[in-house]
Amino acid sequence: MRHRRKLIAAAALLVAPALAHVAVGAATRIEPPPIRATAGEPAAGPAGLRVLGPAYVRPRGRILEARLAGSPEEIGHQHGRLFYPEMVRNEGTLYDQFRRYVPVAPLRWLLMDLSRLQFRGVDEGMADGVRREIAAQARAFSPDPFDGVLPTYHRFVFLQSLYDIALSFEHSPLIGCTSFALTGSASAGGHALLARNFDFEAGPVFDEGKAVFLVHEAGKIPYASVAWPGLVGAVTGMNAEGLALVVHGGRAGEPRAAGEPVVHTMRAALGRARSVDEALALLDDPAHAPMVSHLVMLVDAAGEVAIAERAPGAPLHARRGGARRGPDKVPLTNHFEGPLAGDPRNQRVEAETSTHARRARLDERLAALPGGATVAAAVDILRDRRGPGGAPLPLGDRRALDALIATHAVVMDATARVLWVSEGPHLAGRFLRFDLGRMLDPTFDPALDSAEPEALPEDPLLTSGDYAAWERAGSPHPGGERGSTTPEPGTSTSPPGG
């Protein structure tokens, strides 16, 4: 009898986690909203062009250029059908990374269940149009090879919130981006430039498969977003009015499971704001309350610059610069400098990550930059791989501005409405020119624009053989944010990003 009770107890211990897993799945499912039916399949055109109604996608060098236009349902459907092969590849890469870092299946289930419980209401902070667009995108993503992970819509909602979910983990090293603005006499012709590296170490697929989205939402300002297939929101972008923005990870305050994912707030700003002041007003609106802390750099066509420091429950703090309000060279890495500077989480970022090393080197480069700097000069700074004082660093060292982990780097000319986007690998390849003044025009016809885009040359690192040797050696990024040879205690192995 005693032996039988032990067997029953052991069986219960084995079965209970599986039952709990099923119960969590049933209790936390996120259901899609009702949407209008949409249909249509892409038609093939010349030179890799794929067309679906007013939308299209085509390769420009190693970058995908795409237009999405119409209602939320129409944009979602266009996105899901035009980018279906790329979205399958990207999502598969994410799960490969997840299995690599968490090789034990029950532990992966536990992490997924904890996330499902904590973020079971994450879609409630999303605008109705965004939810309908994601629902249409999920419906168009067929057949779905990952339906066994989570139902398609539920999974897409989580993928859209991935930046916020990852940043909510205290030791997730999503801290690594570098940006700067040049205005007035600092840049050629007095143009307003915003340059950024978006570091996101999640495998080569996000670097090799980057996209420039040209988005025409009904009733909104057209805008361009540099991201990857599948992302509805924005981390780097500029609209037709010349408002440019980038988002950086930071740590302050308590993360929340409720609020608006930052990539959707950035998209809302691009679709509605014509100036830095209008964008700051939107960022301060309780309807766009953040889930996690972050920094946003904003530049507009008039040469205004601001860095918005945001954290859940904290008042918005804006640092000003630019043509009329401050310095014409404005740097940004990943630490807060306003009221949130004394937050213990921010102080840990300052003490344990590369933010100050990169900032010191960026300050040096900007101070030495002659007036009238060109886009090529801005790219040269983004590609800097030395430490403060010009000290040599190993390739891939996290203290460098270019740690060879960026999935995209962009120089945005807000005055001319032009983007220069890194082709890859990382920043070593060419930077291709996208003329948004022309391409965001609703009458723009890609079939009549077959000329190769203008480009800035690739980095000599690519042709010297050094990059190839670094890759053959396994692309070793020195562990930890400081560039040491072993991971720092307590740091996560999850991929870092901006």
Q: What is the 3-state secondary structure (H, E, C) of the chain?
A: CHHHHHHHHHHHHHHHHHHHHHHHHHHCCCCCCCCCCCCCCCEECHHHCEEECCEEEEEECCEEEEEEEECHHHHHHHHHHHCHHHHHHHHHHHHHHHHHHCCCHHHHHHHHHHHHHHCCCHHHHCCHHHHHHHHHHHHHCCCCCCCCCCCHHHHHHHHHCHHHHHHCCCCCCCCCCEEEEECHHHEHHHCCEEEEEEEECCCCHHHHCCEEEEEEECCCCCEEEEECCCCCCCCEEEECCCCEEEEEECCCCCCCCCCECHHHHHHHHHHHCCCHHHHHHHHCCHHHCECCCEEEEEECCCCEEEEEEECCCCCCEEEEEECCCCCCEEEECCCCCCHHHHCHHHHHHHHHCCHHHHHHHHHHHHHHCCCCECHHHHHHHHCCCCCHHHCCCCCCCCCCCCCCCEEEEEEEECCCCEEEEECCCCCCCCEEEEEHHHHCCCCCCHHHCCCCCCEECCCHHHHHCHHHHHHHCCCCCCCCCCCCCCCCCCCCCCCCEC
pTM for this model (two decimals): 0.90
Fold of 178-211+231-442+455-472: Penicillin V Acylase; Chain A (3.60.60)
Strand partners, 306: 298, 320
Q: Tens of pLDDT along the chain (498 residues)? A: 555 555 554 444 444 454 454 555 556 788 999 999 899 999 999 989 999 999 999 999 999 999 999 999 999 999 999 999 999 998 988 888 878 878 888 888 787 777 777 778 888 889 999 999 999 999 999 999 999 888 999 999 988 888 888 777 655 545 789 999 999 999 999 999 999 999 987 667 788 889 999 999 999 999 999 999 999 899 999 999 999 999 999 999 998 888 999 999 999 999 999 999 999 999 999 999 999 999 999 999 999 999 999 999 999 999 998 777 778 999 999 999 999 999 999 999 999 999 999 999 999 999 999 999 999 999 999 999 999 999 999 999 999 999 999 999 999 999 999 999 999 999 999 999 999 999 999 999 999 888 899 999 999 999 899 999 999 887 654 433 433 322 332 233 333 457
CA atoms within 13 A on the CB side of 377: 17
